[in-house]
Amino acid sequence: MTRALILGGTADASMLAAAIARARLNAVYSYGGRTRAPADQPLPTRIGGFGGVSGLADYIRCEGITHVIDATHPFAAEMSRNAVEACAQTSTPLIALERAPWLKTPGDNWIEIADVSAAVAALPEAPAKVFLAIGRQHIARFATKPQHAYTLRFVDPPEAPLPFAADVIVSRGPFTLDSELDLMRTRGIGWIVARNSGGDGARAKIDAARMLGLPVIMISRPELPERGRVESVAAAMQWLGHSTRLGA
């Protein structure tokens, strides 16, 4: 019998969990534990890390997992790499449910770079108002350019002092184009630093930047091992051998 493990934390993962619940499949939803108040899921849920590759492999064996769906954030590189290795060790089928990256369109003013360190270097030396849309795990490196006025947006309030003074917004997406335009206008944002997450939920800030003619320092996705990949919940359900319509 199928017993799936969803490595979650994204809107796509939540939609997959709902489809699996409607189909009455046996599955477990796993949160990495970074968000203090994660959204409820219609499946049995675990929170926290596995303890690296060996810990994930042990979990797959002990829990009788037959399929793993990596629906983590496209920048959760460590978890994705661990999933590839653990599934290889346990001969467990693995698929990545991964939204397509954003593509530069006419009117976009992107500076495409490889990582966070390059993003820091790409910021101007002259003081500017910068919207850091990259999550709280990577902001410390921007302390090397304290001359800027940073705006940050988190799902949870910061638990520890930030490495620099910043305007912090606590809010959970998805965000609308109008709200992103308002944020950038009212705060006088001049630069945006973003990761190429893809999908619709976080795209509004990219569309707003295009409309306002703002430069976007766009961080490319990390390199990951080769693995099967789908871009929709329907395709992931087909991979599991079921239809999204089952149980509806």
What is the pLDDT, as a whole number, of residue 64?
Answer: 97
pLDDT recorded at residue 36 = 66
pLDDT in tens, 97-149: 998 999 999 999 999 999 999 999 999 999 999 999 998 888 999 999 999 99
Ramachandran category for residue 65: left, alpha or beta (phi over 0 → left; psi -120 to 50 → alpha):
beta
User: Are 167 and 148 contacting, i.e. CB atoms less than 8 angstroms apart?
Assistant: no
Low-confidence ranges of the chain (pLDDT < 70): 34-37, 243-248
C-alpha span between 141 and 117 (Å, rounded):
7
Only one residue has tokens 């653990």, namely 86
- Whole-model pTM: value is 0.85
